[in-house]
Structure formats: C-alpha cells, structure tokens
Structure 1
C-alpha cells in the first residue's frame, strides 16, 4: 500500500472541508469497493475522508410507509431493523444476503449506491422502489442517479447522505450469487406500489443496473410469475464474463424475476 492521508470526519460539513483540501481525496465508508480498488492500483487517492462515524448519516426512520435510511447505515443494520422489516421485508432480505458477516457489518448503503458496482444489490432496490437519493447538496430520483458502470450523477465532493422511499404494497428480491464473492451474477428486485410495478435488474446489464420495462408491463396486468412466461431480456444488452454468458444471464433474469414475484406474493 502506498502512503496517503487519513481524515476521520466528524460531520458532513467537516467531510466536505477535508475532501476539498486533498489533491485527489476520496470519501470512504465501509471501503468494500474502494479499498480493493486501491490494493489493485485501480485507485490511488491522496487522501481518504472517513464517513463511517458521522452520526447524522446513520439510522433508519420509518413513518407510516415513508422510509429514510442514512447513508452510513450498515447492511447488517438494514437487515435486522424491525421497523423496516415490517414495511419492506424485501430490502431487509436483500441486505442480509450481501457478502459475508464482515462485509455486512462494515459496508454501508450509501457507499454501495455511490460506487454503483454493476453487481451490487442496492442499486436494483433503489430503482425498483422509485427511491430518492439524498446528498449533501440535493435530492436525485433513482431513475436519474445511476448513469452507467460505476457511474452516477454525483458531482465532485458530493456525498450520499441517505435514501428515502415509500414502502410498496409488495416487493421481492432474488439473485443468483457468485459462490465466492456472493455478488449478484443476476439479481432482480420487483416492487408493486400505488404507481404500478417496477422491476430492476443488477449484475447483468452491459451498462449497469436497469429497469425491465417489458416485465413491468406484463406484471402490471397480472402480478404473477406466470405473467413472465416467454419473456426475456435480449442477450445483446447483457454482459458476458468468466462467470456467465449474456445468453445465460438472459435466462437467469427471467428465472430470478419469477422467484422475486413469488416471494413478493408470499
């Protein structure tokens, strides 16, 4: 590891101040994406500004159907929060299947969303739930936040301080996991709310997380796994790698979507 400067931010304002001081400073929370990138020399920041101890960015609030989750809230906290489980068990289930216990107790929802790893779980949930991504400067609809592989609408110095969404009437998440990393080779989050049905896919798209509009239309007519019979995402829009071909991922999307709907229906 090369030398760098470490700053433990005490507040969002302090984090922004420290980031501006560095020549090439990066924010870090759980470090589940950034630290491996640094180890492989894909990233070499001059400074790390630690967000993990900022109290104002922690916690889960549930008011009726409105859910707000702080950006520094860990996956383990999302997985075990009783109030969240009561209104959106699908998101708690998703969080409980991220990585291993170490990852779940260190990784944060804000960090996952900000990095937008193409195989991360939360981006699919945010898209399917129609969530709003809250930063220290503005609020961005999830549909406009995720812009490509490892790319988001975040500007320099901007921090994901939290997310908010209205809990859907029904939701489900299923993924086909890489047996080693537990990242999603394909993951599908399905949600049915007052604004209709939304289906989001992670792990498969050649440009990152995306909504499956054809599946949404089919499920809007009949929210049942059978409604997806014969439907498939074109392989031409999906990625191929050492873990799965685009054709295999196409098949998996349909299978995971059916399982997610079945889970949403209980």
Structure 2
C-alpha cells in the first residue's frame, strides 16, 4: 500500500466538502476499492470514509417503500429487511462470505456497479430509486453499463428506496471461487406490473428481460417463461461459461425465481 490521506466525516455535508478536492475518492465498505489500490489500479491521494455517517445507515419502512441507508452493510440488510422484504434480505444474506457481508455496503456495491453484483438486480428488478446528496435517480436511468452509472463526480449515494413487491424472489447460480453469480435473476410482482432483472450474464451489466416481463404479466407462472430463450448476443463468455450457456441459465433461473415467488 502507498501513503494517502484518510478523512472520516460525521455527516453527508462534511463528506461532500471533503470530496471537493482533487483526487479524493469516497470509501464505503472498501471490498472493491482497497484491493484495487493494493494492485495500484487506483491511487487516490485522499479517501473519504463514509462508515461513520449515522444518517446513511439503517433500514426503515415508509408506507409501501423500504428505505435502506447507503452505508448499511449486507449483513444488516439481511437481518433488518427480513420481515418487510424477505427476497431482498435473502439476496443480502448470500453475498460473498461473512467477512464481505459485515463490511460491504449496499451503497458501495451500487456505486461500483460490478456486472456480476447482486444488488443491481434487486434495484432494477423492483424499479427502486437511488437517493444521492443532490437528487433521486430512477433505477432505469441509473445503470449505464459495466462499472458505469449516472452518478456525477463526487456525488454520494445516501439511500435506496425499494417498492415492496407482492411477491419476489432472487435466484443465483453461484460461481464458487468468487461467490459472485455466474447468472442471477430478480423477479418482482406488483399489482400492475412484473419486473425481471438479470445480473452476471451481460457484458453491459444488469439488464431487464422485457420478454419475460410481458409473459409473466399475463400469467405469473414458471410455465409462462418455460419456452422463452434469452439471446446470447452480448453475453459474457469466459472460462466459467460460454455466452450461450449464460443465456440458457437466464431462462432456468427466471423459472426457478417465479416458481418460488408464486
């Protein structure tokens, strides 16, 4: 590791002020940033830790919404969202390993937008809203490709607002070495719509499978998607699986998610 300045603000306002300098970068759980720095793939001169900001932590229900502070760890989401949104809690409970779940945060994951991360599927699959220090961003506008989001420079995610679904399920085919999903699907059914989001499969990151959404809106059952096939175009191909294999898994995991949710 190399020398850098570490700042620990107590409020969002202090964090924003600390980031208003050249080569400053926010630090959430550090599960991605710190290994990247160790490899010299990123070398910020100042880290602004968000872990001490109380207003960015916690899970609370507001009407038909579940609001989660961006600084809330995966382990805390797994515990505190269990009663109001079991599918989201189950997703958080299977991220990485205990060390990752007790340090990593929902805001850090969404800001990084890894193409195989779990939370982006829940956010896009429910049509959640990303709340920052300056605005609110709809899920459909937030994700803009691999490791790319609508966040502007030094903009901080402070919370995420999840609409609570009538029925939902996250199904994840785990890559055992990394614990990331090889392919995972989040299905959410609401009174007037069904949303299906896929992570781990595409070179462009998380995306909605609209063909499945249309079929499930008419008939929310595993049979409704049993004959659907996702396109292999643009899918990740590596030593763990071909593009065609990942496309096939999308259908399999969607069917499992619908069956469990229904």
Give the TM-score normalised by structure 1.
0.96
**Cα distance, 1:165 vs. partner?**
2.1
**2:35 paired with 1:36:** yes
Equivalent residue number for residue 168 of structure 1 = 165
How many equivalent residue pairs?
A: 262
Is the deviation greater in 69-78 or in 222-231? Answer: 222-231
- Counterpart among 121, 124, 129 of residue 126 in structure 2: 129
- After superposition, what is the alpha-carbon deviation per residue over 1:86-128, rounded to whole angstroms, capped at 9, x for unaligned? 2211000000000000100000000001110001000010001
- In 2, the alpha carbon distance for the partners of 1:203 and 1:195 equals 27
- In 2, the alpha carbon distance for the partners of 1:245 and 1:40 equals 28
Query: Secondary structure of the equivalent of 1:162?
Result: strand
- In 2, the alpha carbon distance for the partners of 1:80 and 1:148 equals 30
- In 1, the alpha carbon distance for the partners of 2:77 and 2:106 equals 8
Equivalent residue number for residue 153 of structure 2 = 156
Equivalent residue number for residue 59 of structure 2 = 60
**Cα distance, 1:197 vs. partner?**
0.4
- In 1, the alpha carbon distance for the partners of 2:126 and 2:145 equals 19
Equivalent residue number for residue 96 of structure 2 = 99
- Counterpart among 196, 199, 202 of residue 199 in structure 2: 202
Listed as ranges, the gaps of 5+ residues in structure 1 are none
Equivalent residue number for residue 48 of structure 2 = 49
- In 1, the alpha carbon distance for the partners of 2:168 and 2:202 equals 21
Aligned alpha-carbon RMSD (Å): 1.0
CA contact 1:65–1:87 (8 Å) conserved in 2? no
Equivalent residue number for residue 239 of structure 1 = 236
- In 2, the alpha carbon distance for the partners of 1:42 and 1:187 equals 28
- In 2, the alpha carbon distance for the partners of 1:116 and 1:99 equals 15
**Which of structure 1's runs of 4+ aligned residues deviate more than 3 A?**
none
Listed as ranges, the gaps of 5+ residues in structure 2 are none
**2:249 paired with 1:252:** yes
Equivalent residue number for residue 78 of structure 2 = 79
**Cα distance, 1:57 vs. partner?**
0.3
- In 2, the alpha carbon distance for the partners of 1:71 and 1:48 equals 17
Equivalent residue number for residue 2 of structure 2 = 2
**Cα distance, 1:67 vs. partner?**
0.9
**Cα distance, 1:65 vs. partner?**
2.1
- In 1, the alpha carbon distance for the partners of 2:89 and 2:214 equals 26
- In 2, the alpha carbon distance for the partners of 1:40 and 1:123 equals 26
Query: Secondary structure of the equivalent of 1:256?
Result: helix
Query: Secondary structure of the equivalent of 2:77?
Result: helix
Query: Secondary structure of the equivalent of 1:126?
Result: helix
